[in-house]
Structure 1
Amino acid sequence: MDLFVSESAPIDSSLDCPTLSADTLKQLNTRSTAQGTLRLALHLLILLSSGYLWSTNIGEHWPIALPALVIYGFSLAAMFAPVHECSHRTVFANNTLNDAVGWIAGVLSFYNITFFRRYHKWHHRYTQDPDKDPEMSDPKLQTWGDYLLAMSGLPWWWGKLTTHFRVAMGQLDSYPFIPETAREEVIRSTRWQLGVYAIAIGISIIFGQPWFITYWLLPLFIGQPILRFILLAEHTGCSGDRNPYTNTRSTLTLLPVRLLMWNMPFHAEHHLYPSIPFYQLPIAHQQLKAHFSHVEPGYIHVNRAIVAGLNSAV
């Protein structure tokens, strides 16, 4: 079984890096199915409530419909957060439950957890390594135009479409992080996911209703820029070495964002100790925050700093 709960980039032994004690880490590493279920229930409550308001006010009460669409769209896009947490298998004490919830969350957010788990394992192992970290393959932001394009989510959509179809066709040579032993599982999982979308599209066509667009495609298109705004802060502008105290950023943000992102804003803590479940990260933050180079007061602050360092050419 491919467990992925604790592997991170090897720390340079020459670095003087403080760490949590073995006893503290043991306590923080405790997984809780109750905590995972509660967070999932809250996320789904926000998703379904905002989706209901969106569906019942379309074309009639736009002052209600538009904010509901934004919240609903971000809730859909933020289903990436349980995909991420379940890929580490730290959300629930039961690994089968982690995999099942992560797969369904991936269908909603257009990620595939079976693929993502291997992709993300390399991201942790080779964080900020330009030759091996898969996230480093994304185009580097150099101009305002690059930034605006990234914020639109269009490169993300294109990347997801091409990746899903390549994987479904068995074309995995471009993905060295997928071992030979996992190829059949990744291909099968991706094909099943694309099959779910095909069924949803088919139902919309049969009933002559734009349900697939209205309740999935459009909201996710609206929510993706918000998610891009958040995820860009994780490593952009941080060091390119193996020091987890300098190569990853934690961002202090509002409670609703922390809730829907499953505490991913405490990203430096997560990269240092991927085995710590999401609900324990605020505790880890209190013990480690003084040692991190990048703890920023909000995503607007981070993105302003990123934009300030770009070439003004669009």
Structure 2
Amino acid sequence: MKDLHSFGWYASRITPHLSKDFFKPVPARLWGGFAYLLVVVAGLLAIGLFDLHIIINIVIAGVLGASYAAMGFLGHEILHGTVVKTAWLRNFLGAVAFWPLSTGPRLWRKWHNMNHHVHTQHDEKDPDAWPNHEKWIQNSLLRTIYRLPFGVRAFFSFLSLSVQFSMHGLKMFIEYIKDFNPKNRPAVLLQTVLPWATWIGIMFWMGPVKWLFAFLFPLLIANFIVMSYISTNHRLNPLTPVNDPLANSLTVTVPKWVDVLHFNFSYHTEHHLFPSMSPKYYPIIKQHIKKMWPERYHEMKMSNAMKALWNTPRIYYKDNELIDPHKKNTFGTLGNGLDGAKQPDPEVMKKTV
């Protein structure tokens, strides 16, 4: 593994080349969120008030799922303070944006901002890092899962993307609620429970069948979209003892119109260098990174990154490899045998230990 540097080391070398305006909040980003909110309200009312043909309900469910995911991307941006700086307004807008994904702003800032960003891909401290071989040995459930044939395991792993964000959010609530000051715990609990109470209340209003199209199916779609990004953000990168975003993060490339719809969420290495900067400016940050450290920067087409995820296990071996523990096959990570510029070939990536 190349010599590692902290995200501050990189940021300090790029910052002199940037305008001070890059570090100001961009409240105009809220117009996109307002558009999505109108779409969501219209979709919910259409399903709730009218007896529509099932095909129309399916289409609306797809639009709602895509909208729920996009609102989550904006909520992530808001809660980093890049849209508005006023704390109460930031938390309120972040709560609204994350409402479909039922994630409270206090929990998100604790889990994501304070732990994931500070300790990215640290095998003990990053709440989003996948386990290493030693943890696999100690976990009977993981050992059972990894006895399944590779293809079956990959299929169910991809299928689970449709629930992973919601399940991980619940795990983070259980894990971190004790870390909050006792006087703040009721607010954290309320921010977690209230969105679910709202969606359950909507079920009683429109009935369980319509609710499937208004919330449950869209939630599965939103989970899959969000987790497709989150899974490719770091899970092909090595574990790192130093929080080096050029080593432990991946920027995926998607069509420009997708970046517009998803608020530039694909620029993930850039985000880990400048988490308090609006993603509006990340294409420019990308240019600076590729000019200064082209040999360190990792980017990959989203389709290729998803194929690489399918073709590799998620257990780390010696930090910079992934291992299929029963067959003893190891696969390179980005910067350690996996080339983000090429179509992933599982036979090339694989070796036996």
Query: Among 116, 138, 153, which residue is 1:123 paired with?
Result: 116
SS of aligned partner of 1:132: coil
Aligned residue number for residue 6 of structure 2? 11
Change (3 A) 1:206 1:246: closer
- 1:296 corresponds to 2:288: no
Deviations 1:177-231 (A, max 9, x none): x7443x5435423324413432542454366565544312221123322222222
Amino acid at match of 1:303: M
Query: Among 146, 152, 156, which residue is 1:149 paired with?
Result: 156
Any conservation in 1 of the 2:58–2:213 contact (CA below 8 Å)?
Answer: no
| Partners of 1:46 and 1:294 in 2: CA distance | 35
Any conservation in 1 of the 2:251–2:266 contact (CA below 8 Å)?
Answer: yes
Any conservation in 1 of the 2:66–2:222 contact (CA below 8 Å)?
Answer: yes
Change (3 A) 1:22 1:275: farther
- 1:307 corresponds to 2:310: yes
Change (3 A) 1:300 1:47: farther
| Partners of 1:279 and 1:110 in 2: CA distance | 26
Aligned residue number for residue 69 of structure 2? 77
Change (3 A) 1:228 1:57: farther
Query: Among 149, 162, 167, which residue is 1:158 paired with?
Result: 167
| Partners of 1:206 and 1:16 in 2: CA distance | 52
| Partners of 2:275 and 2:103 in 1: CA distance | 20
- Displacement, 1:59? 5.1
Aligned residue number for residue 15 of structure 2? 21
- Superposed, 1:58-207 pairs within 5 Å as 60=53, 62=55, 64-120=56-112, 121-136=114-129, 143-152=150-159, 153-161=162-170, 164=173, 166=174, 174-175=175-176, 179-181=179-181, 183-202=182-201, 204-205=203-204
Aligned residue number for residue 262 of structure 1? 263
- 1:235 corresponds to 2:234: yes
Q: Where does structure 2 lack aligned partners over 5 or more consecutive residues?
A: 137-141, 314-323, 327-353
| Partners of 2:85 and 2:12 in 1: CA distance | 28
Q: Which moved more, 1:41-50 or 1:236-245?
A: 41-50
SS of aligned partner of 1:239: coil
Any conservation in 1 of the 2:95–2:105 contact (CA below 8 Å)?
Answer: yes
- Displacement, 1:265? 0.6
Any conservation in 2 of the 1:81–1:260 contact (CA below 8 Å)?
Answer: no
Amino acid at match of 1:101: L
- Displacement, 1:18? 7.9
Any conservation in 1 of the 2:120–2:126 contact (CA below 8 Å)?
Answer: yes
Deviations 1:109-162 (A, max 9, x none): 222221010111211111110010010157999744444334332344434445
TM-score, normalisation: structure 1: 0.77
| Partners of 1:112 and 1:304 in 2: CA distance | 32
TM-score, normalisation: structure 2: 0.69
* Higher strand fraction (1 or 2): 2
- Displacement, 1:83? 2.3
- Displacement, 1:266? 0.4
- Displacement, 1:236? 1.5
Which structure has more RCO (C-alpha within 8 Å, separation ≥ 6)? 1
Aligned residue number for residue 225 of structure 1? 224
| Partners of 2:39 and 2:259 in 1: CA distance | 13
SS of aligned partner of 2:228: helix
Aligned residue number for residue 26 of structure 2? 32
Q: Where does structure 1 lack aligned partners over 5 or more consecutive residues?
A: 1-8, 167-173
SS of aligned partner of 1:296: strand
Q: Which moved more, 1:254-263 or 1:122-131?
A: 254-263
Aligned residue number for residue 316 of structure 2? none
- Displacement, 1:100? 0.6
Amino acid at match of 1:300: S
| Partners of 1:272 and 1:147 in 2: CA distance | 31
| Partners of 1:257 and 1:47 in 2: CA distance | 19
RMSD between superposed Cα atoms in Å: 3.5
Change (3 A) 1:131 1:30: same
